[in-house]
Homo-oligomer: A and B are copies of this chain.
Amino acid sequence: MAYCDTCVVRNRAICAALDTKELEALNAIGRRRTLEPGESLIWEGEDSVLVANVIEGVLKLSTNTEDGREQIVGVVYPSDFIGRPFGGVTSQGVTALTEAKVCVFSRGDFDSFAADHPGLEHKLLQRTLGELDRTRRWMLLLGRKSASEKVASFLVEMAERMTGVGCKSVPGFPQQRALTLPFSRQQIADVLGLTIETVSRQFTRLKNEGLVELPSRRDIVILDYDALVAEAG
């Protein structure tokens, strides 16, 4: 049952703080789980009952207003940590965007384990501080950027994040990058605080201006990365 031995995020996730023996103990309280696209792992407003590491796939963190408007407040990738340790109510739901594999722990078990392993907590703290930085930078986009700046920023961010995952650099076109988005148009709108129609219009504008190509609904080829960065503001 020593999943961790073959875990692809072994050295990038917070588990990297643990030696082989400690890892075995952690392994004993965790279990792997596969999620289908659209499947939720945690629901908004429930007591925090579990935490997890992402092994594979992309998931969204989202909150909703009572009348159904949604805002995606975070996107997590392999090696990222999910959930709210040390009590409290989770104020975001967690839902798989692609097929995903996660390593799940009951929150109580994880809390106790973490209390005995300061190195693990340190890793988690660093990760949380980084996530807070990233989240605050995103607030500038939500509060102060125009629709065109938002969409350009989104594409730049995706190009960075997906590097090495779904990104191929095309020979002879160093700026050119192809990526497969893990988001529907609606989900992009929910990330950017826009409507689906506005996102769609911005995409076609970028296509008409020759900055991107849109071979299919989920695929984007970036033809002029620098122009996108400039437009991101």
A-side interface residues toward B, CB under 8 Å? 61, 63-67, 69-71, 73-74, 84-86, 88, 91-92, 115, 118, 121-122, 124-126, 128-133, 135-140, 142-145, 192-193, 233
Complex: chain B residue closest to A137, CB-CB:
B91
CB<8 Å pairs between A and B, sample of 11: A63-B140, A65-B140, A71-B140, A86-B126, A86-B129, A88-B133, A91-B137, A128-B128, A131-B132, A132-B135, A142-B142
Roughly how many angstroms separate A176 CA and B193 CA in the complex, as a whole number? 34
Q: Determine the chain B residues whose CB is within 8 A of the CB of A130 once the complex forms.
A: 88
| Contact status of A66 and B143, CB under 8 A, knowing A85-B129, A92-B136, A136-B135 | no
- Contacting residues, chain B, for A131 (C-beta < 8 A): 132
A171 to chain B, nearest CB (A): 33
User: What B residues does A126 contact at CB under 8 A?
Assistant: 86
* A193 contact set on B, CB distance < 8 A: 142-144
Chain B residues with CB under 8 Å of A64's CB are 140
Q: Can you name the residue of chain B whose Cβ is closest to the Cβ of A150?
A: B143
Closest B residue by C-beta to A124: B125
- Contact assessment for A144 and B84 in the assembled complex, using a CB-CB cutoff below 8 Å: no
Given A118-B121, A233-B67, verify A61-B136 contact (CB < 8 Å).
yes
- Which of chain B's residues have a CB closer than 8 A to the CB of A121? 118, 121-122, 125
User: Within the complex, which residue of B67, B70, B92, B125 is in contact with A128, where a contact is CB–CB below 8 Å?
Assistant: B125
New contact pairs (5) apart from A91-B137, A115-B122, A124-B125, CB-CB < 8 Å: A69-B144, A86-B125, A128-B128, A135-B135, A139-B142
